[in-house]
Amino acid sequence: MDVTFSTLAERPELAASLWFPDTWPEFVLNDPVGWAHFGRAAATFPEFTVVGTDGDGEVVVRGHSAPFALAAPGRGALPAGGWDQVLLWAFSDHRRSVLPDTVSALEVTVRSDRLGRGLSAAALDALRDNVRARGFRELVAPVRPTGKHREPATPMAEYAWRTREDGLPADPWLRTHVRAGGVIDSVAPASMTVAGSLSQWREWTGLPFDEEGPVEVPGGLVPVRCEPRHDHAVYVEPNVWVRHALAPEPGGDTDGAHRAD
């Protein structure tokens, strides 16, 4: 289908249409770092938020990203804390006017009634193009592999590098990133952490959470650790860091650093 991409900075009137129904598991939405920061990403970084509209002008896909300073003191490597950590870095850098040198993708979500039409790949391309046009040399992404929930007991370090006969990743979303030019870098073992009482986990998943040990939940990439004696359960989600090297546009900015504001 034909989709036109723009940034939210270019089309601020689309802000109210960004939050269409999606298929994220409910427990994922209760990550405290995401709860505190992700909802502000579009307003804080509108020039790094891409929006795809169809021929009727309806928003059918969104892509969030945020700039941060990877080369800042104490950083340098992509963090084990993955999605949570890069959100904290991006908002901290923005608040302190730290000059960013890298952009991280945060999310690509397709409207549920438009799934299976290649829109996630198109949004990834739009994110890459937008970051390149702004003079950055790299887009990174803490990727949540879309097929991993089917085998939560498999270590992510084993799953992430699994390939097909053609050498491309076995996982569909990782494969999309590699086809777009990305390279798998490392596993972020604690990319998102969700802790809650057993009653909360029962509400989020519909499961009993009454036995000690690992509990496999729908949509979970790894099992949740249940502790009935202490009335809590904890989910620590691993993601996969992918790096996209971006060649500068001819005649464009090439310093690779721009203020977030």
pLDDT, tens only, 87-98: 999 999 999 999
256 pLDDT higher than 70:
no
Kindly report the average pLDDT of the chain as a whole number. Answer: 94
Residue 62: burial class (beta carbons within 10 Å; 0-12, 13-18, 19+): buried
pLDDT, tens only, 148-165: 999 999 999 999 999 999
Outline where DSSP puts E strands in the chain: 4-7, 49-53, 59-68, 102-110, 138-143, 182-197, 213-215, 224-227, 232-245
This prediction's pTM: 0.93
Cα–Cα dist 176/248, whole Å: 22
CATH placement of domain 4-191+239-245: 3.40.630.30
| pLDDT value, residue 1 | 73
| pLDDT value, residue 248 | 76
pLDDT, tens only, 196-223: 999 999 999 999 999 999 999 999 999 9
Summarize the confidence of residues 80-93 as an average pLDDT: 98
